[in-house]
Amino acid sequence: MDAAQLREMQAPLKQRYREDPGTACAQMHAEADFSDPGITATVQTWAGPVRAGLHPSTGGDGSDACSGDMLLQALLACTGVTMRSVATAMGVGVRSAQLTARGDMDARGTLGVARDVPVGFGSIAVDAVLDTDADDATLERLAQLTERYCVVAQSLAQPPRLTVRRA
C-alpha cells in the first residue's frame, strides 16, 4: 500500500468523523474465563484461547503466558501497525523492521512485599530496527509520530480510568 491508497482508504472515515464526531467512538472488548485449572485466566484472542498465569517472579513456572508479556505484545502490535501507517503516509520506504519491547517490573509491588513499590511496569521501551534509506531526521519524526498516534502507547503513557467490578 502506498500513501495515496492509504489516504483514499481513510478519507471517508476522516470526513465522517469530522462531520459527526460521535461516530469515531469505538468500544473494544476482550473476554477471559477461569476454564483452566490453577491460578490462570484463559483469554480469547484472535489466534485462539491463550492461558495466562503467574510470571516466574511471582510464583509461576513459566508454562503459561504472562500478562505482562501480553501487554508488551499488544504494544508492539499497535506500534508496528502505527509505524507502518505513518511511514506509508510520510512516503518512507521500510524494507523490513524488527521491533522489541522491554518492560521493568519489581515483583515486590504485586506480591505486597513492599508498600512503597508500585504495582506494574516502572518503565517500558520500544526499540525499532528499520531497514530503510531514510535519514536520521526522518526516522526521528517517524518515531515521534508513531508514539503520538499509537493507541496502546498513549494508553500506557496517559492511563485511562480503570474499574474492576462485579457485573
CATH number (domain holding residue 44): 3.30.300.20
Q: Average per-residue pLDDT in the chain? A: 96
Q: pLDDT digits over 33-74, tens only?
A: 999 999 999 999 999 999 999 999 999 999 999 999 999 999
Residue 137 resides in a domain: yes
> Which domain, by its residues, includes 146?
23-157
155 confidence band (pLDDT: 50, 70, 90):
very high
Residue 162 resides in a domain: no
Residue 40 resides in a domain: yes
Q: Which three cell numbers stand for residue 14?
A: 476522516
Residue 127 resides in a domain: yes
Q: Where are the beta strands (DSSP E) in the chain?
A: 31-33, 40-45, 48-53, 65-66, 94-105, 121-132
Number of compact structural domains in the chain? 1
Q: pLDDT digits over 66-103, tens only?
A: 999 999 999 999 999 999 999 999 999 999 999 999 99
For the stretch 66-77, what's the b/e string if a residue is b when 16 or more beta carbons lie within 10 angstroms of its beta carbon? bbbeebbebbbe
Predicted confidence (pLDDT) at residue 167 exceeds the cutoff of 90: no
